[in-house]
Structure 1
Amino acid sequence: MAVIKLMPKNNPRSAGVLMHISALPSRFGIGDLGPGAYKFVDFLAKSRQRYWQVLPLNPTKKETGYSPYSSNSSMAGNMMLISPESLFEQDLLNESDLNACMLPETGPVDFEKTEVMKQQILNKAYQLFKAKRNEKLVDEFNLFCRTEQDWLADFSVYTCIKQHFKGKEWFNWSEKFKLKDVQTIVKFEKGNQAEIEEIKWNQFIFYHQWYRLKEYANAKDIELIGDLPFYLDYDAVEVWAQRENFLLDKNGNRTEVAAVPPDYFNEKGQLWGMPVYNWEKMKEDDFKWWENRLKKNQQLYNLLRLDHFRAFSNYWQVAASKEDAVDGTWKPGAGAAFFKTMEKKLGKLPFIAEDLGEISADVEQLRKQFRLPGMKVLQFAFGEDLAGSVHIPHQFGSSNFIVYTGTHDNNTTLGWFKNETDANVKKRLSKYVGAEVNEKNINTILIGLCYASIAKIAIIPMQDILQLDETARMNIPGKATGNWAWRADKNFIKEETINWLKAETELYGR
């Protein structure tokens, strides 16, 4: 291959990979923060990538299909992503413990089995932590409890009460617990201190492992891009503990819920059902709740994608009594006042605006006002409106975008080409790139278009780099079960993949 002179160090163009932690291979049923994650960082560094984008790391649960976008906490970490091998390295598990909790290394995640196993293994690790009293770790745990007190206290009590009520949602607890009666909660805390402490310890271990991984990645010049879901699940600790921030009645019932209006794809819209924020109340203390949430995410990641960005400008809300999203109303979001306040409190805003779908001029104006990069998705670019599509590279207009072949909500590129394009789309694609596009070359062509574009960052899902079909899809929006379970094969990182990706990255000056 012809030699390409490398770009200078301050080159603004870069590339990265979208791959959720759960999708890494691991001997414990789900990708985790252990050896597989470190190997993935090494792969990114060798391939000249600069970014690793992950999906939200908050807890997931069966009732919402284990979706990372519908969590019961905006601050806590997902215990299923904790690595047993890292616990073993810290002398918190024995080898026999590891051998006893092994689950299939590849194949779809069995969330229910994995959740039970991780809970058991963490319980064993906690007992060893208490028995061994490693002073350094004890001090770190105590420091964690002090510094994270603002969210950890509520989360640990809420989780413990939830266990006491056999997993029931907080709005189905008995009255005094549901309405957070002070005396009832204080009495419960006193009687369940050991369990509450263990819940805090599980969170400590999650963050201990995450920050070690982040440090390792950053030392290799790999920056981490996180993902912030806009809404919280109704059964979330913050909705229970800080209900004044949400539109609820005095009994904790939702009065209005989040939704998306009817469109070309859904004639009745999408009724999401999450409680809507009480923006008037949040404004009174300068959006303190959001400040804390964003500060936490700034510690976790180098860049943060704001999911459903349009809702900061305006959002669709529907009365909680409705059965579909047709009879809703547009409401103004927190708008420029919110981002001005965050700029004052947090400094430069390291955010990416998820501005996909039907976007109005005021949403675009808000994104531009605060110089937030938007998103472009090439799978959306080849319809009849190709010439003027906002997703087609010749229409980008500025470099302040992240370009993707597809996102976690799209089919893989090969799956899309096989199952979601017709003869006309294929014809337009071939004409646009000046070559016949087929199943063998569609991935390299779309990745090449991403890399060749003026977008400052190009992010490619790992499934597209591996040229995987629809069986590797992460999520089908609107489908309640069977999502989020894809995992890469054990030896998915191959030397030829590294060499190819590195060569592409260098060729396009990224």
Structure 2
Amino acid sequence: MYLSDTRRLAGVLLHPTSLPGGFGIGDFGLEARKFVDFLSASNQHLWQVLPLNPIGPGNSPYQCFSAFAGETLLISPEELVDIGLLTRQDLPSSFDKNYARVHYKEVTALKEKLFQKAYQNFSLKEPPKEYHTFLSQESFWLNDFALFRSIQKKTGQENWLKWEREYRFPSREERTSLYSLFQQEMDYEIFLQFLFFSQWNSLKEYARQKGVYMIGDLPIFLSILSADVWANPHLFQLDEDGSPAKVAGVPPDYFCEDGQLWGNPLYDWQMHQKEDFSWWIARMKMQLSMYDLIRLDHFRGYESYWAVDSKEKTAKNGIWKKAPGFQLFTALTKACGAPLPIIAEDLGIITPEVVKLRNAFHFPGMKVLQFAFMDTADNDLLPHRFDSSNYVCYTGTHDNDTTKGWYRGLEADAKKKVCAYVNSSGSNISQGLIRCCYASIAKYAVLPIQDILSLGSRARMNVPGTPRGNWEFRLTISSYDDTIIEELKFLTTLYGRE
């Protein structure tokens, strides 16, 4: 179901891993429902998450192992108790429930033991009909992904480029033989994906009943280590040995003076066009089944992308290459229906061609208020200069410092401008930017939970260009007290975002 609600709406940006809970990482269980209750009680109708795909290097959801599969760390063990696959006695009693950061290695070890036990119990029963339906509907990606993950675990090597030849470049016939060889291991991986999507769909339905819409996030690129690159090498710009000749990134910008060298393989757009964008259509249809709105990460890359030689150490020395964005979105519109419920992340170096592409399909863009005060001159990110309502306004995103931390790092003149603009003494600058965001003409206003709680820089989710210490932020308790709820309700009423 696409989001057809025409009201001005407000919402919150919070990745599920940041929820509190007893297993070292947020998941789709009770705390997720408590968060939906908080959104509903405070008249917030949007919940924006980061990509829910399997995390890749650096625990980044934007370096995912699959464009289709789900991150199994988000599966709630407590919900497995509810459906009889685990008992209360199976759950650990001593695991630290109050980690302020996600410790991925420990969490993975803990949950893997629980999932193995749940699978043993699942194997003793007749699978429900929903399981067979899942197998049938998702077969176009599920089997290859399950095989890929099974080989990764058997070899102990995540990088498929280092696998033995028989695993690295199997023909379709050889892959069929590998299905038989790894059937038991694949069944376990398929079981996990079934649990992930069952729990997500249940949470999404709960949110819908509470009047909350889900905003997803589609990474433009995939990790070289992903199942999609391994299973479909012809769709990517790879050398004969499977390694990328050129990789993705962005040139020097606000976040990093050397640019950002992401290292992802680039698409072979000619081959995608030759196949009528069938892989992209399948990807978009799946996203549309999961979310009400979808934020397209790095929208600029659908018009032109930054290509960097894989031997480079920084992203400085790249070139812009054209992408068939218009043809792609035309094909997606034809296959999925119009209008596509897409938010264009149009940040960074935005050219008239990028704006033209966004406007051609009526995608709302993004306005991030922290960027509006990068100097003392006026710019188009200031709310009084918005040229239309077709935007999503943010105080900041997962790539920004928290508003409180950002303000502390500003030069004195910039601080004066911020305070004057939001009519604040600076003592609670987060609330000032929140009011600006709500008051703007933007159709949607979305706030990171860190700004709602006025948290400092230690609560930042990601520092672009840094390889460690990211994606770990967590709430240690359900911090949605009545004061916060009433304040958000007041602001949504005041600024017509009910």
Q: Calculate the TM-score normalised by the size of structure 1.
A: 0.94
Secondary structure at the counterpart of residue 272 of structure 1? strand
**Residue segments in structure 1 that go unaligned for 5+ positions in a row:** 1-8
Q: Is the 8 A contact 1:179 1:251 kept in 2?
A: no
Q: Does 1:424 align with 2:452?
A: no
Secondary structure at the counterpart of residue 221 of structure 2? coil
Q: Is the 8 A contact 2:14 2:47 kept in 1?
A: yes
| Count, aligned residues | 493
Separation of aligned partners in 1, 2:476 and 2:248: 37
- Aligned with residue 28 of structure 2, among 24, 30, 33: 33
For 1:384, the equivalent position in structure 2 comes to 375
Pairwise CA distance, 1:11: 6.1
Separation of aligned partners in 2, 1:461 and 1:322: 34
Secondary structure at the counterpart of residue 65 of structure 1? helix
Q: Is the 8 A contact 2:393 2:437 kept in 1?
A: yes
Aligned partner letter, 1:72 = F
* Bigger shift: residues 92-101 or 422-431: 92-101
Task: Quote the RMSD (CA, aligned, Å).
Answer: 1.6
Pairwise CA distance, 1:85: 0.6
Aligned partner letter, 2:220 = F
Residues 218-229 of structure 1 mapped to structure 2, 5 A cutoff: 218-229=208-219
Secondary structure at the counterpart of residue 41 of structure 1? helix
Aligned partner letter, 1:491 = S
> What do the CA deviations read for 1:67-109 (whole angstroms, capped 9, x no partner)?
1110110000001000001000001101111135744334111
Secondary structure at the counterpart of residue 305 of structure 2? strand
Residues 264, 458 of structure 1: alpha-carbon distance in 2 compared, 3 angstrom cutoff: closer
Residues 371, 183 of structure 1: alpha-carbon distance in 2 compared, 3 angstrom cutoff: closer
Q: Is the 8 A contact 2:249 2:307 kept in 1?
A: yes
Q: Does 1:161 align with 2:151?
A: yes
Pairwise CA distance, 1:267: 4.5
> What do the CA deviations read for 1:133-167 (whole angstroms, capped 9, x no partner)?
1x5x5321111111100000100001101111113
Pairwise CA distance, 1:183: 5.3
For 1:351, the equivalent position in structure 2 comes to 342
- Aligned with residue 303 of structure 1, among 285, 290, 293: 293
Residues 446, 267 of structure 1: alpha-carbon distance in 2 compared, 3 angstrom cutoff: closer
> What do the CA deviations read for 1:389-436 (whole angstroms, capped 9, x no partner)?
121001101000000000000011111111x21101111112223x34
Aligned partner letter, 2:113 = Q
Residues 106, 423 of structure 1: alpha-carbon distance in 2 compared, 3 angstrom cutoff: same
Separation of aligned partners in 1, 2:363 and 2:194: 32
Q: Does 1:371 align with 2:358?
A: no
For 2:89, the equivalent position in structure 1 comes to 96
Separation of aligned partners in 2, 1:341 and 1:192: 36
Q: Is the 8 A contact 2:376 2:413 kept in 1?
A: no
> What do the CA deviations read for 1:217-274 (whole angstroms, capped 9, x no partner)?
0111100000011000000101001011000122212122112123465444322111
Separation of aligned partners in 1, 2:348 and 2:269: 24
Secondary structure at the counterpart of residue 59 of structure 2? coil
Q: Is the 8 A contact 1:26 1:106 kept in 2?
A: no
Residues 360, 249 of structure 1: alpha-carbon distance in 2 compared, 3 angstrom cutoff: same
Separation of aligned partners in 1, 2:377 and 2:442: 18
Separation of aligned partners in 1, 2:15 and 2:228: 25
Separation of aligned partners in 2, 1:80 and 1:111: 9
Q: Is the 8 A contact 1:386 1:392 kept in 2?
A: no
Pairwise CA distance, 1:327: 2.9
Residues 82-481 of structure 1 mapped to structure 2, 5 A cutoff: 82-99=75-92, 102-131=95-124, 133=125, 135=126, 137-182=127-172, 184-263=174-253, 266-347=256-337, 348-384=339-375, 386-387=377-378, 389-418=379-408, 420-433=409-422, 435-438=423-426, 440-481=427-468
For 1:76, the equivalent position in structure 2 comes to 69
Secondary structure at the counterpart of residue 320 of structure 2? strand
For 2:12, the equivalent position in structure 1 comes to 17
